[in-house]
Amino acid sequence: MDVPEDLSAALAAVPAAETAWLALTPIGRRDFIGWINEAKQPETRRRRIERCCENLLKGKRRPCCYAVVPMDLYKALGAMPEAKAQWSRLSADEKRDLTEWVEASEDKPTRKSRIAEVCGLLADGRRGI
């Protein structure tokens, strides 16, 4: 995953944060980037980038409040006990693959459709797309 230009510039301005960034796992970097990219307002994005640097300086390896499972997927799983039970049996890689597929949706209708598809296949006992 490419580091956004504004985050890259902020990291370069704080060498200790940049060093901590480079020490993160690819998944840790992905979580920070995802959390930053989810900001809807430019000011929120700016604050998240600033907070990312602060967290890295404190030794934190993940954003404080970033859900690995998107909230809309989490709620849909919660509404389907069979799907939720199957989700809990998935490996971390399987969960990540399904989550990334949902996150890659280009619009809200596609995202909703993908969430429904994930819940349906999990409810049927399947493990992936």
Q: What is the mean pLDDT of the chain?
A: 91
Share of the chain above pLDDT 90, in %: 68
Chain segment 3-33, per-residue pLDDT in tens: 999 999 999 999 999 999 999 999 889 889 9
How far is Cα 99 from Cα 72, in angstroms, rounded to an integer? Answer: 11
Chain segment 95-111, per-residue pLDDT in tens: 888 988 998 899 999 99
* pLDDT for residue 52: 96
Q: Is the pLDDT of residue 117 over 80?
A: yes
* pLDDT for residue 91: 84
Residue 36, both tokens? 């930053």
